[in-house]
Structure 1
């Protein structure tokens, strides 16, 4: 094993920060939690965690090389992420009165539907792309990691977001009766929209 426990601890802390940053996963998790409670949300959390294993694998297997060879690659990802965050935030604010439990692919009932939605939302999450493809190489020397290192990285990438998402889903489940009122949904959508726009601004300034 070439990476130290301290490196893994720092990486786990970064994963916590990643989880705490509002994004598409939060929107999907809130939608399913509000529409069907914890029972509807936990399969999505599992799907997200499984998808989170994919990104570090892809980073180790080649994206680090792309970043080193093509200086503009991360800039493109950065501006795509900014655009997506801004558009998502504006859409949430514009449709603040839209109930989260409306019929959609995110809230379709069933464990398999929730799991697939979780995998899809994390694979298409620009925040995850930026983190795993851009930040992960800064934590570890991806050209020197061993199989054991990779297992440790993927395990953390799976466990940290899974625990966070399950706690969030359980919390929303307890108060979803309050959150499903039109006024509460509008407030939540406006706040989430502003947070998403704020994340886009922060990414643009860093």
Structure 2
């Protein structure tokens, strides 16, 4: 359920899927999933204690991630609507950018690790987690849930892609995504103050 709540990651995923198509959307989703798996691993193996011990380092990371979200927000806001060519293939550079954006959006969202720290003790005893349980149960389950939810968002974006051929519809979508990114960035900074 929590994965299905649209946040900065899913908003950016929809925007990328609309502008770049299914391949771009799924490449970005792979970056989002990798970021979640990194935070899952941190939560499972207790490295969150390090995050609380070395708060200044994590505050700097948080601020850097916030700046990146602001950059994404600015790019979304300034996006020049273009005719959507459904047959156009994404370039390697666009795919790499989509993947990196997915990864950094997730890693820049402290709510992700907070979610895992809150939910994992309810699901499994973290005192008894082994590499086998992590690798055979937690990682595949997290991957499948995020893939299923992300695929729904991508497929929905592809369905509305035809309707977003007008410049005004694209402008509204990208500016909405930009506003959500900016709000997420401000929220991250506010938590460090």
Q: TM-score, normalised by structure 2?
A: 0.69
Provide the rounded CA distance (Å) in 2 between the counterparts of 1:40 and 1:138: 32
User: Does residue 90 in structure 1 map to residue 70 in structure 2?
Assistant: no
Which ranges in structure 2 are unaligned for 5 or more consecutive residues?
A: none
Q: CA deviation at 1:60?
A: 3.8
Alignment of 1:13-24 (within 5 A): 13-17=1-5, 20-23=6-9
Do the aligned partners of residues 15 and 32 (structure 1) sit closer, same or farther apart at CA in structure 2, a change above 3 Å counting?
closer
User: Does residue 194 in structure 1 map to residue 182 in structure 2?
Assistant: no
Do the aligned partners of residues 129 and 156 (structure 1) sit closer, same or farther apart at CA in structure 2, a change above 3 Å counting?
farther
How far does the alpha carbon of each residue in 1:62-100 deviate from its partner, in whole angstroms, 9 at most, with x for none? 63242143132332233233322223212321x132439
Do the aligned partners of residues 77 and 134 (structure 1) sit closer, same or farther apart at CA in structure 2, a change above 3 Å counting?
farther
Q: Which residue of 2 aligns with 1:146?
A: 129
Q: CA deviation at 1:168?
A: 1.2
* Secondary structure class of the residue paired with 1:107: coil
Alignment of 1:123-138 (within 5 A): 123-127=103-107, 130-138=110-118
CA contact (8 A) 1:122 1:128 kept: no
Aligned residues, how many? 182
Q: Which residue of 1 aligns with 2:55?
A: 71
Q: Which residue of 1 aligns with 2:144?
A: 159
Q: TM-score, normalised by structure 1?
A: 0.66
**Higher mean C-alpha displacement, 66-75 vs 139-148:** 139-148
Provide the rounded CA distance (Å) in 2 between the counterparts of 1:100 and 1:27: 19
Alignment of 1:47-66 (within 5 A): 48-50=32-34, 52-61=36-45, 63-66=47-50
Do the aligned partners of residues 181 and 82 (structure 1) sit closer, same or farther apart at CA in structure 2, a change above 3 Å counting?
same
After superposition, the CA RMSD in angstroms is: 3.6
Do the aligned partners of residues 193 and 15 (structure 1) sit closer, same or farther apart at CA in structure 2, a change above 3 Å counting?
same
